Amino acid sequence: MDADSPASAASGTGPPQGLGLGTFLGVFTPTVLTILGVIMYLRVGWVVGNAGLVGTLTIVALANAITLITSLSLSALSTNMRVGVGGAYYIISRSMGLEIGGALGIPLYLSQTLSLTLYAYGLAESFRIVWPGAPVELLAGIVVIGVVLIAARSTVLALRMQLPIMLLIGLSLVSLFAGVHWGSLKVELSGPWIEGDFWQVFAVFFPAVTGILAGVGLSGDLKDPARSIPRGVLAAVLVGLVVYVAVPLALAHSADAETLRTDPLIWTRVAFAGFLVMPGLWGAILSSAIGSILTAPRTLQALAQDGLLPRALGRTDEETGEPLLALRISGLVALGAVALGDLNLVASVVSMFFLTTYGMLNLACGLEDLVKDVSYRPRIRTPWWLSLLGACGCFVAMFAINPTAFVAAVSIELVIGWTLSRRAMKAAWGDVRTGIWFALARFSMLRLRTARMEPRNWRPHVLVFTADLQRSLGMVRMASRLTLDHGLVTVNTMLVGDLDDHAEAEVLLQRNQQLLAAQGLLAFCEVTSVPDIDSGIVTIAQAHGFGPLASNVVMVGWPGDREGLTHLLVTLRKLVRLEKSTMILRPGSGGPPGPDGDIVVWWKGRESNGDLMLLLARQLTMSEGWGHRRIRLKSIVGSEAEGRELRRTEEAMLEETRIRAEVDIIVRREDDGLPDLLRTHSEGAALVFLGMAVPEAGAEERYADQLARLVAGLPNTILVRNAGPFRGRLV
C-alpha cells in the first residue's frame, strides 16, 4: 500500500514555456499559411491542365494522405513528451537519439534558413508581374533583412502580421469562387498529361502540402505543446485539404486545359475581383518567409542546447526572450544565399530535407508503438503500421520529386549522423532505440551491451518461482499479462538437493515447456537444483539473465503458513539489495474475478511502491481481456482537508503520466480498522495491488502477522515491493 509521494511522481510539470502562445496563433496560423502558399496560386491551374479534374483530385488525395498520416504521427509523439525548443528536431532527437536527431536537425536548420531566401526570391520575382524591370536580387535581399528585423523585434508581432495575410488569402479565395461560372467542366476528367506524367505532376504539387513543420517549429514558445500541436496541425491540414479540393473544382469549371497550363495568373482572370489575387499571393509568400525565420533560429538554439553546436548559439536575449544570436546568423546565411542566383537545385535539396524529417517523424512514431516501451503513452495513438506506411510514402515521394536531390540529401544526413556517432555523445534521456534492440536476437544483444538504459526504457522481466507449474499457471499467465508479451517471463522450478539427486530435472523441464506452449504462454523455463528454497531464490535471482536482459521482478505465490511468509520476508530484504522488485500473488477467497471488477491500487506514499503498482496496473489494462477494467487509485487519509489536497495532487500526477485512473479518497474515522477498510473498499475488485515495506531484521514474524491480517478476505491480491530504477520517479 506504500508508494512515493505523488508530487515526486509527477515530476516534469512546470510553468508554460517561452512566450506562452496558444493553438491558433502559435500553430494553426503559421501552418495553414505555409500550406496555402505560392503553389496554390501559381501551379494548381497547371496541375489541372495536365492531370484533369479526377487526376488532380487523386494527386491531392495522395499528397494529403501522406501529410495527414505524418500529422497523426507528430500528434502522437508530441503528446508523449513535454516538447521543448526545436520543434521537429526536439521530437526526433528525444525519440530516436541525438545522432539521428542531429543528422536531421542540422540540415533541417539550413533548409529552414534557405527557405527564407527562396521565399524572398519568389516574392521579388512576383513583383515583375506588375514591375517587369524589378531588380530581383536587390529586392530579395531587402525582403530578407526586413523579415529578420521584424522577427528580432518580436515573435508575437511577426505572428500577428500573419493575421491580415490570412485575411488577404481568404478574400482571394472568396473572390475566385465568386467568379466561377459553375456550369459544365472545361477540362478532361483525366489527362492529357502533356507536360509530365502522374509522378512528375505529383512532384510539382506535393510541396504545397508540406507545411506542417511551420507550426511545430515554435514548440518552445507554446503554452501547452501537447494540446496545441495536434489541434493546430491537424486543423490546418484539414483546412488545406478542403481548399485544395475546392480550388481545382473551381478552375476546372473556369478555363480549358491549354489556358490552365500556360497562364500562371489564371486566378486574376477568373476571380470576381482580380485585384484581390495579387495581395493574397504576396501575403502567402511573405507569411512563409516569416515562418522560416521564426523556426530556423529555434532549431539552431535546440541544437546548441544539446551540445551539437557551440552553446553560445542557444542563448536568449534577457529582455525579449529571443535567440538573437541564432536569429542574426540565420539572417546572414539567408542573405548570403541570395548571391547564389539560381536556386533551383538548392530548392530541391531543401524539399528533400523537409521530407526526410517527415519520414523520420513517421518512423519514430511507428517504432515507438511497435516496440511497446512502457513509457510510450501518447494521448493520441497512431497505429505503428500507419506511421510506417506514412514513412514509406514520404521516401517514395522524395524519390519521385527528384532522385538526384533525394540521393544528395540522404548522403549528407548519413555523413552528419556518422560524424556525430563518432563523438560518443551522451543524452540525458532514453529513446526508442533501446526498445528496438530487445526485439532483435544476437544483433540486439551486441548493441545492448553499450546502449544507455533509462527509466523510460524499463519493462518488467519477471522471474516466476513455482514448485508445481501445473498449479501455478494462473501466476505465469498474470506475469505474461503484466509484460504485455514484450518483456521476458522466466518460470523457475526449484528442486531441493544436489543436482545428482534429481535425474528427473530434464524430463520436468521438457514437460513444463510443453505445458506452457499448450497454454499459449510465452515464457522461458528453468529447473534448478538448490540446497534450500530461501538461498535458492536469492542465488538464482542474482545470476539470472544475460547482460542487460536480466530479470528485474521476482514473482512468487503466497506461502501457506506463517513460517513460510516469515522466511520469504527475510529473502525480500536480499532481493531489494539486488534491485529486484518483488511480487507476491495471493489468490482471493471469493473465486475468479467478476466481469466488471476494477483494478484497485492502494496508494499510501512512504515506500515508493505506488510507482510500480500503478505502472503494472496500466500494463494489465492493455492486455487481452482486461482492457475494459478501470484502475481505481485508493488512498486512506485522516481528514477531509487532507483528502482534498491529496486528490488534487494525485489527479495532477495521473494527468502528467498519462495513466487513466479514478481517484478514490477514503477518510478514516477513529474507530475504523485498517484491515476492515481495505476489505470494504476492495470488495468486488478483479485485482488488488498492495505495497510492502521491508521489515527490520528480527521483525519479520510481526510483519508477517500484519500482512496476513491486511490481506485476509481480500480478492486476488498482488503485494508489491518496488526496487526498480524509477522509485520516486514515475515514467
Q: Is 236 exposed, middle or buried (0-12, 13-18, 19+ CB in 10 A)?
A: buried
Q: How confident is the model at residue 633, as a pLDDT? A: 92
Based on the domain organization, do 383 and 307 belong to the same domain? yes
Distance of CA 298 to the CA centre of its chain: 20
DSSP H or E run through 7? helix 6-9
Q: Would you give the DSSP letter of residue 467?
A: S
The residue from 385, 401, 417 where one domain ends is 401
Is residue 424 pLDDT above 70, yes or no? no
Task: Give the domain CATH number at 545.
Answer: 3.40.50.620
Based on the domain organization, do 216 and 351 belong to the same domain? yes
Based on the domain organization, do 128 and 245 belong to the same domain? yes
Based on the domain organization, do 306 and 353 belong to the same domain? yes
Q: How confident is the model at residue 45, as a pLDDT? A: 93
Q: In this predicted model, which residue has the larger pLDDT, 63 or 133?
A: 63
Nearest to 27 by CA among 103, 83, 96, 92: 83
Based on the domain organization, do 355 and 497 belong to the same domain? no
In a domain, 574, yes or no: no
Q: How confident is the model at residue 2, as a pLDDT? A: 42
Nearest to 351 by CA among 528, 671, 81, 115: 115
- Say how far apart CA 444 and CA 585 lie, in whole Å: 32
DSSP H or E run through 447? helix 441-448
- Say how far apart CA 396 and CA 389 lie, in whole Å: 10
Give the helix ranges, DSSP H, for 544-639.
562-577, 610-621
Taking all residues of the chain, what is their mean pLDDT, rounded to a whole number? Answer: 85
pLDDT per residue as tens digits for the range 170-215: 999 999 999 998 888 999 998 899 988 898 898 888 888 888 888 7
Based on the domain organization, do 550 and 597 belong to the same domain? no
In a domain, 78, yes or no: yes
Q: How confident is the model at residue 441, as a pLDDT? A: 53
- Say how far apart CA 81 and CA 453 lie, in whole Å: 18
Based on the domain organization, do 139 and 248 belong to the same domain? yes
Q: How confident is the model at residue 399, as a pLDDT? A: 87
Q: How confident is the model at residue 367, as a pLDDT? A: 85
Task: Give the domain CATH number at 82.
Answer: 1.20.1740.10
CB half-sphere exposure, 46, CA atoms < 13 A: 19
Based on the domain organization, do 541 and 589 belong to the same domain? no
- 9 pLDDT band, cuts 50/70/90, is very low
Based on the domain organization, do 316 and 194 belong to the same domain? yes
In a domain, 407, yes or no: no
In a domain, 575, yes or no: no
Q: How confident is the model at residue 14, as a pLDDT? A: 38
The residue from 386, 401, 416 where one domain ends is 401
Cα-flanking dihedrals φ and ψ of residue 580, to 5°? -105, 115
In a domain, 17, yes or no: no
Q: Would you give the DSSP letter of residue 546?
A: B
In this structure, the chain runs to a length of 731
pLDDT per residue as tens digits for the range 262-283: 988 899 999 999 899 999 999 9
Is residue 676 pLDDT above 50, yes or no? yes
- 431 pLDDT band, cuts 50/70/90, is low
Cα-flanking dihedrals φ and ψ of residue 635, to 5°? -140, 145
Q: What is the pTM of this model?
A: 0.73
Q: How confident is the model at residue 155, as a pLDDT? A: 83
Q: How confident is the model at residue 49, as a pLDDT? A: 95
The residue from 557, 573, 606 where one domain ends is 557
For residues 410-419, average pLDDT: 86
In a domain, 259, yes or no: yes
Based on the domain organization, do 536 and 590 belong to the same domain? no
Q: Would you give the DSSP letter of residue 456?
A: G
Is residue 322 pLDDT above 60, yes or no? yes
Based on the domain organization, do 592 and 551 belong to the same domain? no
pLDDT per residue as tens digits for the range 233-258: 999 999 999 999 999 999 999 999 99
Structural domain span for residue 709: 581-731
In a domain, 675, yes or no: yes
In a domain, 361, yes or no: yes
- The number of folded domains in the chain is 3
- Say how far apart CA 89 and CA 101 lie, in whole Å: 6
Based on the domain organization, do 590 and 479 belong to the same domain? no
Q: What is the DSSP string of 248-312?
A: HHHHHTTS-HHHHHH-TTHHHHHSTTGGGHHHHHHHHHHHHHHHHHHHHHHHHHHHHHTTSS-GG
Starting at the edge strand found earlier in the chain, the sheet holding 581-586 runs: 524-530, 489-496, 462-466, 553-557, 581-586, 717-721, 687-691, 599-602, 631-637, 662-667
